[in-house]
Amino acid sequence: MKKIVYISIILLILSCKAQIITLEDFEDYPTELPDGAYLKDVNNILGKYVGTWKGTYNNQNYEFVVVKTTFENTTLKYKHDKLLIRYKITNNSGTVLANTLNLPNGDKYIIRGSYLAKSGSYVLSYLGLNGKCGQNGTVFISVYDVNNVKMKLFLEPYGEIYSECTTGYAGQILPTDWIDLTKQ
């Protein structure tokens, strides 16, 4: 009996330090996270997205490199397993239209994971290279085959133009309809 009480006390102390919230449960979680919360990919749901994905849309070639990372917010005191996406877009002639492949994790132009939706799609925030001129929005990705080698991606643009934009609206470079991608 003493052992059970002792173990219970230790578990209680540890649970006060950090509360693990699975990515699957996050969308149902109240808006304010407790200090020390960890939004953890307990069931490795994000693993199926990790890798290099390629596809073609409107005569442009897309390469997306997806990595999993743990983000730590020291201000709000929580950790979050999430995906980051870098991309390279070329036209049929091979001319590079956009390339974020070599940018560091903290760069604002990296597509940054937000949450796993109840629908099964993973939701990310996007700020394009011309983000001030309308290249911004939400990216949705979804792996749809049993072998995890087919994925769909699309951008729901905000299209917001900021006062710093001096060149006018910049067209979207990410697909605004679903693009089929194949894992390499």
Q: DSSP letters along 65-89, please?
A: EEEEEEEEETTTTEEEEEEEEEEEE
Q: Does residue 87 belong to any structural domain of this protein?
A: yes
The CA distance from 111 to 138, in Å, is 9
Across the 184 residues of the chain, what is the mean pLDDT of every consecutive 10-residue run? Answer: 45 56 82 86 96 97 98 90 98 97 96 93 96 96 95 95 92 95 98
Bridge pairing between strands 111-116 and 96-99 = unpaired
Residue 169 domain-assigned (yes or no): yes
134 within some domain: yes
pLDDT of residue 89: 98
**pLDDT at position 28:** 76
Residue 140 resides in a domain:
yes
Phi, psi (degrees; rounded to nearest 5) at 17 = -75, -45
Q: What six digits make up the tokens of 63?
A: 């390469």
Question: How far, in Å, CA of 157 to CA of 134, rounded?
Answer: 8
Task: Tell me, yes or no, whether 102 lies in a domain.
Answer: yes
The boundaries of the domain holding residue 145 are 45-183
Give pLDDT, residue 122: 97
Single pTM value for the model: 0.86
Residue 5 in any domain: the answer is no
- Is 16 part of any domain? no
Number of domain units in the chain: 1
Domain annotation covers residue 143: yes
pLDDT of residue 180: 98
CA 55 to CA 180: how far, in whole Å? 6
